[in-house]
Amino acid sequence: MSKQKNDRALRFYNEVLGLDRLHYGMWESGDELTFAKLREAQIRYEEFLVNHIPHGVKRVLDVGCGTGMLVKKLLDNGYNVEGLSPDINQKRNFAENINAPFHHLGFEEFTASERYDCLIMSESAQYINMEKLFQNARQALKQDGYLMICDYFVFKNATGEKSAKAAMCSKLFTACLRSITSA
């Protein structure tokens, strides 16, 4: 039995603040810190992701798909795409608004019945157990498939030291290299 989640913070952003995307977006320097600019930054980020999907990719799994807006955009761009999230609110939202298959569980518990060309983790890798992330990515991807991880890592402004998340970033890249070199 997989672990369901009920992430109230993400639900608050979506249902109370009215944000239809659950990531921080890609800001331009000098942007005012407003909701309007946040929405622009979110769309800019989503376009950046779609434009960086490698050529030849057809079958995509959006791991930690949130509200499903990226899934929707990928469908519009002709990809064969599915969403995955352990969250009960996101499951309901996806069923109501997105016309694509949805897997309701954490990626750690996921077994692909058919392999993907590309897995996208947009601000979701930080939620997934790191060892399991790479093990499961390998079983879910076709030979020469792609794992796209896009996340944010904060550096301490005053000291320039890595914060806990930024330290995790180094760990992630090390794990990634280890995974690739042992393939």
Ligand X SMILES: C[S@@+](CC[C@H](N)C(=O)[O-])C[C@H]1O[C@@H](n2cnc3c(N)ncnc32)[C@H](O)[C@@H]1O
> Which residues share a beta bridge with 62?
83, 120
Applying CB under 6 A, the span of 18-26, 28-36, 135-143, 170-178 interacting with ligand X comes to 18-26
Which residues are CB-contacts of 80 (< 8 A; sequence separation ≥ 6)?
Answer: 58, 59, 60
Binders in 120-149 for ligand X, by CB under 6 A: 122-124, 127-128
Nearest residue (CB) to ligand X, 40 versus 108: 108
Residue 68's identity, in one-letter code, is G
Phi, psi for residue 93 in degrees, rounded to 5: -60, -45
| Locus of tokens 């694509």 | 100
Q: Is 172 in the site for ligand X (CB under 6 A)?
A: no
How many residues lie near ligand X (CB under 6 A)? 23
Strand order in the sheet with 102-103: 102-103, 80-84, 59-63, 116-122, 141-150
Q: Binding segment for ligand X among 30-38, 118-126, 140-148, 169-177 (CB under 6 A)?
A: 118-126
Q: How far is the CB of 7 from ligand X (least distance, A)?
A: 6
Min dist. Cβ of residue 142 to ligand X (A) = 20
Our CB check for ligand X shows the closer of 22 and 41 to be: 22
Q: Which amino acid is at 104?
A: H
DSSP 14: I
The residue among 39, 98, 34, 36 whose CA lies nearest residue 66 is 98
Which part of the chain contacts ligand X (CB under 6 A), choosing from 73-81, 102-110, 161-169, 174-182?
102-110
Interface contacts to ligand X, rule CB under 6 A: 5, 7, 10, 21-23, 63-66, 84-87, 90, 106-108, 122-124, 127-128
